Amino acid sequence: MSAAWRSRSMEPRDIARVVEIERASFPDPWSAAMFADELDCATGLHVVAEEDDGDVVGFLIARQYPDEWHLMDLAVRDDRRRTGVAAGLLDGFLRAAGCAGRRIILEVRPSNAGALALYEARGFAVIGRRPRYYTPSGEDAVVMERTPDEGPGFSGPVLAIETSCDDTSAAVVHTTGGVLANVVHSQDAIHERYGGVVPEVASRAHVERMTVVVREALRQAGIAMDDLAAVAATVGPGLIGALLVGVQTAKAIAWSRCLPFLPVNHLHGHLAAVWLGDPAAPFPMVTLVASGGHTSLIRVEAKNSFALLGQTLDDAAGEAFDKGARLLGLGYPGGRELDVLAESGDPGAFPFPIGLRRSERPDFSFSGVKTALYYLLRDMTESERSARAADIAASYREAIVTALVEKTLRTAVDQGARTVAVAGGVAANSLLRRRLSAEGEARGLHVVVPPFAYCTDNAAMVGAAALQAPVLQYPEYLDIDASASLVLGQWLPAPRSAIA
């Protein structure tokens, strides 16, 4: 019976035991000084197999080079040979090295039949011989190579995770473009009592929900984690603590299943909602991204080519809706409730200012309309306010939507765009949807207003954007952090090692 063992990093205190095993295993053993040098090597991988009683019974040493791994030493104490320790150490190493997509090279004595058989069983092939490689014996070495299991390409289901603000979301998107599952757990009920998103509360709620949301997405997609081809997550912009939950979850899954990690810019995600909604929409597009945090007009040349044309100079459109809803005493966040109330009101009842209407620039401003609402309500009695609530909501919505639609369509025409589209939570607004469709088509543009589920924050759009994202293999992605301030067109935050 072999004792249970686990692998852990080799430490200087292990060297004496390791040298004993080495001497009993090979005619040309490494010295203690050689092991000490290896432990100092930052690109090395050094592990020991340790039994439950703390006894070291085997070890593996490898080094990583820019395009290959060199498996340098693998030995097991003689009384533990043929008990699976060598195979276990090797499989652990292959997992780490295979994830990196690099080939592995090793030398072995032609007389070491057990080792040759183990390596062959794990996909190594003999590619040459090094004469008189071992000293002092002068024995030749056989050189073996194992090519990476997968190249940088991948195909199949991709798990995508979105936690940039207050929605915990996981989706499964196939590399062919289909959405297999899109699960969103909104935190609105949690933040409602504070009247806004509390970042630390959002992060904690993401931690609590992440696992169940990922499991549910896999269940709805009808797949297991082992079926995944890649893992994607929003890396920015957004609330840093919230982003980190999704990024770390995705990295952990990628590492445990040896999958590539795809970092996604949240804004690219909102833009991808357009081709999720209409895969045939022609480029170039002008897309309005209007949410609680952004109001931007973006030229989309192709699925991976974006240019910012203009944006809000103050509040985001969603923020203007939410602040209006708050002044009117509607729910939280309020944009949807204001929209519902506005449907039954007269949009011409009250004149609200339309920000930057006469400016040629494709920019927006919503602070004026918000202030006008504040003064209008201040000067009304309580009974006037409730009697005219629907008319006020309709007039307020009219001013915001008019600004959005006029600027968006003018910009799309000026840009020679073939498609005009809207994305982000505000794209759920019923007047915006109706008006952009009708007026866009009247100008001969192809109009895309994606389904509601792809407009508010969701992981399906992140999965769709991930198909254009950099493909990061282990260990490259370990160095990628979340970034609160990622800008349009930026795919990756600066690696941690590049930050002084």
Candidates 102-110, 203-211, 421-429, 442-450: pick the segment binding ligand KG4 (CB under 6 A).
421-429
- Sign of the CA dihedral 26, 28, 32, 36? negative
Q: Which is nearer to Zn ion, 184 or 376 (CB)?
A: 184
Q: Build a one-symbol-per-residue string for 146-175: x at contacts with ligand KG4 by CB under 6 A, - elsewhere.
A: -------------------x----------
Q: Which is nearer to ligand KG4, 58 or 424 (CB)?
A: 424
Contact between 269 and ligand KG4 per CB under 6 A: no
Sheet harboring 125-130: ordered strands across? 5-9, 44-51, 56-65, 68-76, 103-108, 141-146, 125-130
**Shortest gap between Cβ of 311 and ligand KG4 (angstroms)?**
14
Whole-angstrom Cα distance, residue 471 to residue 92?
Answer: 23
Q: Which of 7, 203, 291, 411 binds ligand KG4 (CB under 6 A)?
A: 291
Cβ neighbours of residue 40 under 8 Å, at least 6 residues apart? none
Contact between 333 and ligand KG4 per CB under 6 A: yes
Residue in 256, 221, 250 with CA at minimum distance from that of residue 233: 250
- Ranges within 4-63 binding ligand KG4 (CB under 6 A): none
Q: Which is nearer to Zn ion, 36 or 487 (CB)?
A: 487
Q: Which is nearer to Zn ion, 101 or 238 (CB)?
A: 238
Binding stretches for Zn ion (CB under 5 A)? 291, 457
Contact between 425 and ligand KG4 per CB under 6 A: yes
ω into 451 cis (within 30 of 0): no
Contact between 456 and ligand KG4 per CB under 6 A: yes
**Shortest gap between Cβ of 50 and Zn ion (angstroms)?**
47
Determine the residue type at 189.
A
Q: Which of 292, 324, 345, 355 binds ligand KG4 (CB under 6 A)?
A: 292
Phi, psi of 429 (to 5 degrees): -65, 125
Contact between 457 and ligand KG4 per CB under 6 A: yes
Whole-angstrom Cα distance, residue 426 to residue 401?
Answer: 10
The item of Zn ion, ligand KG4, none sharing an interface with residue 318, based on CB under 5 to 8 Å by kind, is: ligand KG4
Whole-angstrom Cα distance, residue 6 to residue 3?
Answer: 10
Residue in 310, 432, 316, 400 with CA at minimum distance from that of residue 360: 310
**Shortest gap between Cβ of 355 and ligand KG4 (angstroms)?**
16
Q: Which is nearer to Zn ion, 22 or 457 (CB)?
A: 457
**Shortest gap between Cβ of 171 and Zn ion (angstroms)?**
14
Cβ neighbours of residue 163 under 8 Å, at least 6 residues apart? 169, 206, 210, 233, 234, 238, 242, 243, 245, 246
Contact between 213 and ligand KG4 per CB under 6 A: no
**Shortest gap between Cβ of 318 and Zn ion (angstroms)?**
9
**Shortest gap between Cβ of 457 and Zn ion (angstroms)?**
4
Candidates 70-78, 94-102, 133-141, 331-339: pick the segment binding ligand KG4 (CB under 6 A).
331-339
Q: How many residues bind ligand KG4 (CB under 6 A)?
A: 19
The item of ligand KG4, Zn ion, none sharing an interface with residue 456, based on CB under 5 to 8 Å by kind, is: ligand KG4
The contact set with ligand KG4 (CB under 6 A) reads 165, 291-293, 318, 321-322, 333-336, 339, 424-426, 428-429, 456-457
